[in-house]
Structure 1
Amino acid sequence: MELRQLEYLVAVTEEASFTRAAARLHVAQPGVSAQIRQLERELGQPLFDRSGRTVRLTEAGKAVLPYARAALSAVAGARLVVDELTGLVRGHVTVGVIEWMKILDLPGLLADFHRDHPQVEITLSESRAADMIDSLRAGRLDLGFISMGTTPPEGLETQIILAQDVVAVVAPGDPLARRDTIPLTALRDRALICLPKGTGLRAIIDEACAAAGFTPGVSFEIGDPPMLAQLAALGLGVAVLPRSAALAYRDGLRLIEITRPRMTGRIALAWRSGGPTSPAARALIELARTRLPEDDQR
């Protein structure tokens, strides 16, 4: 039994696919299948049910999985101890990002980190806030830039690095275009253009509308904030965006403050509050917290 076989077992389980597991591990799919078959022959039982559209663990696979994860965790822990004793910072870190954090100087931060720690490989992964939070908790991400509401996600430590108002954006001919401010209830019967469910900003909007006594009528859900502004410019509805995403289109749009209540979108650094963290991940978290100080606007 080899460690890579256990690593492949865990990856196939989490991805529910040999193909996706191979892509995640950066190896050829036949190699993953061959190693899993070899492990199954050694254990004398099939570990995966391959008969359906997705790959599922058999009862034997479910029994083996906790031991596979424990073995991989033990090896990672041994490497951490040795690296800390020798003062080495090397290995690999994975950073999660969201679309509208591009206003931050992430390339500059990563360039400084690479200059100090050239032996560390860095992977960027873009996903929705909800998926990123799950990946941080599971240890698949070392550091994430997440959009969030007022309550930090359970199991994570956070540092808010950007807080900004959420605004309504409409085309110049829209009935709301003459107004500088509106209450949230002014959007009760309007077609809204929003980020999709699972994003931090959408959660803020949905919670505020629920508190105001109505369900938002969302006509378009798109993960790219600038495209939301473009759809609003075409008169397809009211886009609800963080201010920074709307400012790039202010010449062709009307930005309207939303009051009663005022909503604030937040970008936060997030990392797992428990479990092993590699020296490389700790070094990157420390640099990010220093370079991107906490935003006091709450």
Structure 2
Amino acid sequence: MVSLRQLEYLVTVVDQGSFTRAAEILHVTQPALSHQVRALERSVGSPLLERLPRAVHLTAAGRAMLPHARAALADAAGAVSAVRQAIGLAGGELRLATVYSVSLGVLPAALKAWSRLHPGVDVRLFEHRHADELAEAMASGQADLAVGPRPETWTGPVRTIGVEEFVVAVSSDDPAAAGQATEVDLGALRDRRWIHYAPDNGLADILDRACAEAGFQPRIAVRTEQTASAPILAAAGLGPALIPANIVPKGYEGRTLGLRLPVTRALVAYARTEFDAVSGAFLALLGENVAGKLLRPQDAHPAAGESLAGVNSTPR
């Protein structure tokens, strides 16, 4: 079945004359863009683009489809505009609460898309050090919507967003990253001095728990208040750091290693009462923008689904 996203991809490739430039504008990988365009071609039963070494041209079928694709996208934009006016997405404010690591890794792409689609709705972002602190702030009425680890007890609506996987960050010349190593046994790092987190940062609990399950207590090279500092300090050679895979910055100078005994954490969205129109719209957008950053619960190891309240270490 043809989707609006596929039509948007086709139109953008045509307008840019290149899959590479279109992928940059759409903020998707070039293979993903090519896959969707080919899926569209299969749906309509004909090639729409002629792919040449230095250019992309419409086929006869593509020329016939292009005006309809543009019209469909224009109609969809008009429909969205009408709904925004009806439910208040043309103005107002979304109050969003989260934890530091989620604001670094999971939220930026969704917030960027939100600002483009709903420029009249401001976002006020509240960031917290720990999942318990986040839940307390939500219960006190700080925000309309929270995105973070599942609170241990919550009576309002909760929706699972996905499962994040943790990796070990090290310097590029770290012995654990020698050769072509892509994974490490956490127990093999028992004698190392770690980049740890301040005690009130929720990631400190995760590191301590993961190391305890591996049979040791981490020795500390340095404690950092800021989650974003951990991979930077690790790349500088101060020691390994356990970080969510989705916060690794682009062009990272260090190395990241997967864990043979994976450490995962489920992330959810929750509110005090039913998700209102603005929160629901943001959730829908968030769901579209977590691909590649979070695992779907059904794609994670089966035991991960049993640990939605916290951290889970499971064999591959």
In which range does the TM-score fall when normalised by the shorter chain? 0.5 to 0.7
Q: CA, structure 1 residues 195+158, in 2 after alignment: closer, same or farther (shift >3 Å)?
A: farther
Matches within 5 A, 1:33-52: none
- Select 2:211's aligned residue among 203, 209, 212: 209
Q: CA, structure 1 residues 167+189, in 2 after alignment: closer, same or farther (shift >3 Å)?
A: same
| Conserved 8 A contact 2:94-2:124 | yes
Q: CA shift at 1:173, angstroms?
A: 2.5
Q: CA, structure 1 residues 267+202, in 2 after alignment: closer, same or farther (shift >3 Å)?
A: farther
| Conserved 8 A contact 1:94-1:143 | yes
* Partner residue in 2 for 1:166: 166
In structure 1, how many angstroms separate the alpha carbons of the residues matched to 2:168 and 2:175?
13
Q: CA, structure 1 residues 193+125, in 2 after alignment: closer, same or farther (shift >3 Å)?
A: same
Q: CA, structure 1 residues 162+219, in 2 after alignment: closer, same or farther (shift >3 Å)?
A: farther
Q: CA shift at 1:177, angstroms?
A: 1.9
Q: CA shift at 1:171, angstroms?
A: 1.3
| 1:291 is the counterpart of 2:292 | no
SS in 2 for 1:209: helix
In structure 1, how many angstroms separate the alpha carbons of the residues matched to 2:94 and 2:182?
45
SS in 2 for 1:215: coil
Structure 1 letter corresponding to 2:269 = L
* Partner residue in 2 for 1:107: 112
In structure 2, how many angstroms separate the alpha carbons of the residues matched to 1:157 and 1:201?
25
Superposed CA deviations along residues 185-211 of structure 1, whole A, max 9, x for unmatched, are 122221111443444443333222223
Gaps in structure 1 of 5+ consecutive residues:
1-86
* Partner residue in 1 for 2:145: 143
* Higher deviation after alignment, 215-224 or 170-179: 215-224
Superposed CA deviations along residues 60-90 of structure 1, whole A, max 9, x for unmatched, are xxxxxxxxxxxxxxxxxxxxxxxxxxx9858
| 1:271 is the counterpart of 2:265 | no
- Select 2:222's aligned residue among 220, 226, 244: 220
* Partner residue in 2 for 1:153: 152
| Conserved 8 A contact 1:166-1:242 | yes
Structure 2 letter corresponding to 1:185 = G
Q: CA shift at 1:243, angstroms?
A: 1.5
In structure 1, how many angstroms separate the alpha carbons of the residues matched to 2:201 and 2:115?
24
SS in 2 for 1:218: strand
Q: CA shift at 1:165, angstroms?
A: 2.1
Structure 1 letter corresponding to 2:263 = M
* Partner residue in 2 for 1:126: 127
In structure 2, how many angstroms separate the alpha carbons of the residues matched to 1:153 and 1:186?
32
SS in 2 for 1:176: helix
Q: CA shift at 1:263, angstroms?
A: 0.7
Gaps in structure 2 of 5+ consecutive residues:
1-85, 291-295, 301-316
Q: CA, structure 1 residues 241+144, in 2 after alignment: closer, same or farther (shift >3 Å)?
A: same
In structure 2, how many angstroms separate the alpha carbons of the residues matched to 1:145 and 1:286?
13
In structure 2, how many angstroms separate the alpha carbons of the residues matched to 1:253 and 1:111?
33
Q: CA shift at 1:144, angstroms?
A: 1.6
Q: What is the TM-score of this pair, normalised by structure 1? A: 0.56
| Conserved 8 A contact 1:195-1:223 | yes
Structure 2 letter corresponding to 1:173 = D
SS in 2 for 1:168: strand
In structure 1, how many angstroms separate the alpha carbons of the residues matched to 2:244 and 2:123?
28
Q: What is the TM-score of this pair, normalised by structure 2? A: 0.53
Structure 2 letter corresponding to 1:159 = R
Q: CA, structure 1 residues 195+108, in 2 after alignment: closer, same or farther (shift >3 Å)?
A: farther
* Partner residue in 2 for 1:15: none
| 1:94 is the counterpart of 2:127 | no
* Partner residue in 1 for 2:43: none
RMSD over aligned CA atoms reads 3.0
Q: CA shift at 1:168, angstroms?
A: 0.9
| 1:190 is the counterpart of 2:186 | no
Q: Give the count of matched residue pairs.
A: 197
Q: CA shift at 1:125, angstroms?
A: 1.6
In structure 2, how many angstroms separate the alpha carbons of the residues matched to 1:103 and 1:88?
24
SS in 1 for 2:271: strand
Structure 2 letter corresponding to 1:229 = P
Structure 1 letter corresponding to 2:129 = R
